[in-house]
Chain A
Amino acid sequence: MKIKQVSVFAENTKGRLLAVLQALEGAEVNLRAISVSENADFGIVRMIMDNPDKGIAALKEVGFTGRLDTMLSAEIPDVPSGMLRTVVQPLSESGINVDYFYAFLDQEPGTARIVLKTSDDDKAEKLLKNK
């Protein structure tokens, strides 16, 4: 399935994560997952929210540069080799690389949900649909 991701550019300095979260609090947006990719200067904060449109508007309002992307997402059973069998192996066998990913607990008990960006999201989506 597809899921909307909000990402913002944040300098790697004191108080920036706080500013992100405060903006979301002000808009009463609930964060369901968050992941940061960072270097010494800056980070890219990627988030899954209950209301991504409202979330990104609130972040832009306080001056963040952000974007809204439609991401690929798949359910993973909470069992040994779950991620390997349902996601990574099929993608690998089809020659698709994973650019980045992160996972969070699904609202459905016993499953996790993975959000990922791949070298070929369309092809990856078809593969994952059959799982």
Chain B
Amino acid sequence: MIRHPHFETMSRSELEKLQLERLKKTVAYVYERVPFYRSGMQKLGVNPEDIRTLSDVARLPFTSKLDFRDNYPFGLACVPQDEIVRVHSSSGTTGKPVIAPYTQKDVEVWAELVARSLVCAGMTREDILQNAYGYGLFTGGLGLHYGAERLGATVVPASTGNTKRQLMLIQDLGTTAISCTPSYALILHETAQEMGIDLHQSKLRLGILGAEPWSENMRIDIEDKLGITALSIYGLTEIVGPGVSMECPHKTGLHIWEDNFLVEIIDPATGQVLPYGEQGELIITTIDKEAQPVLRFRTKDITSLNIETCECGRTMARMARIAGRSDDMIRVRGVSVFPSQIESVLLTVEGVEAQYMIVVDRQNAFASDELEVWVEVSEDIFSDEMTQMVALQGKLQRELDSVLGIKARIKLVEPRKLARTEGKAKRVVDRSELPQL
């Protein structure tokens, strides 16, 4: 099913016409209202009238997460406070968080985009969605909530945590779809197993998973363990929240809602725009927002774009699964790797769960050549024989070397559920901030 066929199946030329019109409007709008954008454009010698074709977007300055911090809290807003009906915020692990204000129209457009995403995933108003994203400042909870309500589905606002209650609700209410992080989906399965519940016997059939990077192998693992179709949803607080793009059941990339978001791929090192199909950093310009439109936001997410029409009939560009964060890219003796690549290698070894941590040493320049991967020892891989454990360690080490060409030291560790119970799993950890048992 397609919720907005007029937009979702528009020809590329029609779509580009719409995008150009909306881009021009947005650029003029922020130039007039936000000193940050005006001075940024003036520095580059660009006026709103200089935007004549879509490719002229490359003449505009980039916006980074840091710019949001520098203009905290409302420096990037285009409307007076009385027009703002809601504010969300990023988790803000360091320094001030990112503030995302919405007008009445913004929250309505957002809900429509999430509804569109859910339909794209195969949901209908018959579905019962258990929303296990955190409610509150985080965009995931309320974003999914209002989108699913707009669709007319039944929403169970379970929020995060209390896994046993989540499982009870899944069983008792006949939940058909769950929205949560991929790592939480695995926790659900783990806890279900401990409680003697087989999720394959439940009505759960669909997972709307996002808010952290995950691999294709992890998808297979989740689908197999929970007996569901697991699809990826993507979004960022700076842009709108979830509902920027969504996978359809063909699983050939996430459909970007290009009538709202103009996307580019750049080389993260030079800032040069790359052609369709090439891998680089995703750049997003919002072209239908009121409270806080963003020009050329550097997402730091590494992906590639495909503009071929999908088998589902949608013409909008599809972005590949996020390969990693340009920040997370780890260099080991000159080879760059993403945590997701390490994860997919680990998962090919039988019994190894997706619970791992990559330990880097940012304080010690000499140690940057060394990579240590901590793999949690679950019951599936634990043996009472030392020879078996050492063989497993050696196998993981050899696989990383042969597939990725990196020398990593595999360290087998006790389970530390800390790193994954709350929201996003942190995969790359500095030696100085290692979680203790």
Contacts and interface: CB of A to CB of B under 8 A. Distances in A.
B309 to A, nearest CB: 48
Given A10-B414, A65-B415, A99 B387 contact: yes
B49 interface: no
B384 A117 contact: yes
A65 B411 contact: no
Q: In which size bucket is the chain B interface?
A: 10 to 19
Q: In which size bucket is the chain A interface?
A: 20 to 34
A46 B414 contact: no
Interface in A63-108: 63-67, 69, 99-100
Interface string A6-37: 01011101001001000000000000000001
A9 B386 contact: no
A41 B385 CA distance: 15
A13 B384 CA distance: 19
Interface stretch (B63-71, B126-134, B205-213, B374-382): B374-382
A99 B391 CA distance: 14
Given A11-B413, A11-B437, A65 B379 contact: yes
A41 B384 contact: no
A130 interface: no
Interface string A37-69: 101011010100000000000000001111101
Contacts of B378: 65
B187 interface: no
B382 A9 contact: yes
A9 B385 contact: no
Given A11-B414, A41-B412, A67 B379 contact: yes
B429 interface: no
Interface string B98-120: 00000000000000000000000
Contacts of B389: 9, 42, 44
Interface string B361-401: 00000000000000001110011111101100000000000
Nearest to A100: B385
B417 interface: yes
B384 A65 contact: no
A63 B384 contact: no
Contact of A69 (B377, B384, B415): B384
B412 A42 contact: yes
Given A11-B437, A100-B385, A65 B390 contact: no
Interface in B406-421: 411-415, 417
A9 B437 CA distance: 13
Contacts of A41: 411-412
A9 B414 contact: yes
A46 B377 CA distance: 16
A37 B414 contact: no
A37 B378 CA distance: 18
Contact of A65 (B382, B385, B387, B437): B382
B249 to A, nearest CB: 36
Nearest to A69: B384
A44 B413 contact: no
B354 to A, nearest CB: 16
A117 B385 contact: yes
A44 B383 CA distance: 8
A55 B142 CA distance: 44
A107 B395 CA distance: 43
A49 B286 CA distance: 65
A16 B248 CA distance: 47
Contacts of A9: 377, 382, 389, 412, 414
B382 A67 contact: yes
Nearest to A8: B382
A14 to B, nearest CB: 10
Contacts of B415: 63, 65
A64 B379 CA distance: 10
B417 A63 contact: yes
B387 to A, nearest CB: 7
B411 to A, nearest CB: 6
A99 B414 CA distance: 24
Q: Which of A10, A65, A66, A100 has the most CB of B within 10 A?
A: A65
A-B complex: 10 closest residue pairs judged by Cβ atoms? A7-B384, A37-B386, A9-B377, A65-B382, A65-B377, A9-B382, A11-B414, A41-B411, A42-B412, A65-B379
Given A42-B413, A63-B414, 12 more contacts: A7-B384, A9-B382, A9-B389, A11-B413, A11-B437, A13-B437, A41-B411, A63-B415, A67-B382, A67-B383, A67-B384, A117-B385
28 contacts: A5-B384, A7-B382, A9-B389, A9-B412, A16-B437, A39-B386, A39-B390, A41-B412, A42-B413, A44-B386, A44-B389, A46-B384, A63-B414, A63-B415, A63-B417, A63-B437, A65-B377, A65-B378, A65-B382, A65-B415, A66-B379, A66-B382, A67-B379, A67-B383, A67-B384, A99-B387, A100-B386, A117-B385
